[in-house]
Amino acid sequence: MKDVRVRFAPSPTGYLHIGGLRTAVYNYLYARQHDGKFLLRIEDTDRTRFVEGAIENLIRSLNWSGIEIDEGVVLRDGEVAQVGDKGPYIQSERLEIYRKYVDQLIESGHAYHCFCSKERLDALREEQKIKGQVPRYDGLCRSISPEEAQKRIDAGEEYVIRLKLPHDRDISFEDEARGTITINTNEMDDQVLMKSDGFPTYHLAVVVDDHLMDITHVIRGEEWLPSTPKHVYLYEAFGWEPPTYIHLPGVLNKDHKKLSKRQGDVSVEDFRGHGYLPEGLVNYLALVGWSPEDNQEIFSMDELIEAFDTSRIARTGGVFDVKKLDWVNSHYMKELSREELLEMALPYLAEAGLLTEEEAKKDPERYLILMDTIQEGLDRLEQVPEACDFLYGEYKVEEEAALEQLKSESAPAVVDALKEILEGMDEITFEDAQGLMKKVQKASGVKGKNLYMPARAAMTGNVHGPELSNIIYLLGKDEILDRLEKAKAYM
């Protein structure tokens, strides 16, 4: 059996789509599970869609996600580079290779020159639509002899090169996730292989590249399923062995339609910006279209590599559920050390104007305790500023339950005892904060819910939230005294 070699081959049209990342993840899991190689190839033959900087963004997104590129296009010192002995790995650098192989197809009678104008093709499609037929090329140029074709080329006529499919023939292939798939050539088109600008179409380039790069398994989106018989026929025309195909279901929105930018965030950069962790995003994406044998939902990358099974890939699209992503990501948020959380949270706190790196360095223990205080309730990093609202936000009591607590019978005694004890203290240490409520209980004679709920409402304006002793320490003596004074207006 050949060594497993898979490839992820995106087009550099912008940022990496979340569906593209899932394709990369499945390729990577398959490669690692079989001790194989993961290649990154850039398919940039459609120059009209090329976006400057897109290759760099693609690689950074893969690196951030924990996907290691064994061969192909990589970043070295921030610059695009290529590693491996089967390059170039950027299609626009392989034009001479494609020209050689398309000439071979013409010589063997498996391809032909087509001189039809865009106007004729548009009119043909329109006529076929009116008649209720599937729009496809009618084969007008199939009968042109090589000699006549050469004369027309020499005369300067523009042309493309098309695949010459046999008439009325079933083409079958095995899909590892879907079983046997058969399509008759009468339902297919004589696909353009080489455009008039000398650039290959996807259909020629993908077959030539996958063969020359020794790709053993093609794991790609189901949108390529109708094209696969053409690719299988091209392998036959060249006399090559085709790879194993595995087509993946689409990533859908909640309306069960293709996930697109019109409905919101779709790029890896978007989700990274919201503060999702790579472990959380990859773990969740792996479950959108694939299910493990048991009901396990939290997987490390190593566990995914061990559990991944192509026979359990779904045949229907998987719905991308942000709430489920939040739930998975929250697991990884809780696993961060407080030091890691503070480092990751600082850019969000700085952007909100709450805390700079310099300020955090002046009193690291205080801000590490702040991370301890908010960590349990976080799904993603962008929530950190809001979670710190009890500390930085303007004091106000709007919550109905908090207003009720401040009007409760025990509230005046609790607030007065708190005020008196604090006024007799210097600045509050963490140890002071941990013992403060016991002192308030003793001084006020109030205990349990009747003690803690009014105290929390008076200090934070809410009845639920993080550990109260942490809040007392973080707010500090002067801020709490100021809030207790304001709380009296609601009592």
Nearest partner of 53 among 9, 92, 14, 10, judged by Cα: 14
Measure CA 244 to chain center: 25
Written as six digits, the tokens of 236 are: 């036959």
Residue 261 bears catalytic tag: yes
Q: Which of 2, 254, 261, 449 is catalytic?
A: 261
Q: Is 477 annotated as a binding residue?
A: no
Q: Tell me phi and psi for residue 438, to 5 degrees.
A: -65, -40
Q: Are strands 170-175 and 217-221 parallel, antiparallel or unpaired?
A: unpaired
Query: Scanning the structure block, which residue is given the tokens 């805390």?
Result: 355
Q: Which one-letter DSSP state was computed for residue 200?
A: B
Packing angle of the helix pair 54-64, 18-33 (nearest 10 deg): 50
**Paired tokens of 138:** 């009618």
| Tokens 């794991």, residue located | 219
> What is the DSSP code string of 251-305?
EE-TTSSB--GGGS--BHHHHHHTT--HHHHHHHHHTSSB--SS------HHHHH
State the Cα–Cα distance between residues 301 and 312, nearest whole angstrom: 18
Where are any strands of DSSP class E within 115-195?
160-163, 170-175, 179-184, 192-194
- What one-letter code names the amino acid at 167? H
Q: Which residues are catalytic, by number?
A: 261
**Annotated binding-site positions:** 261
**Annotated binding-site positions for ATP:** 261
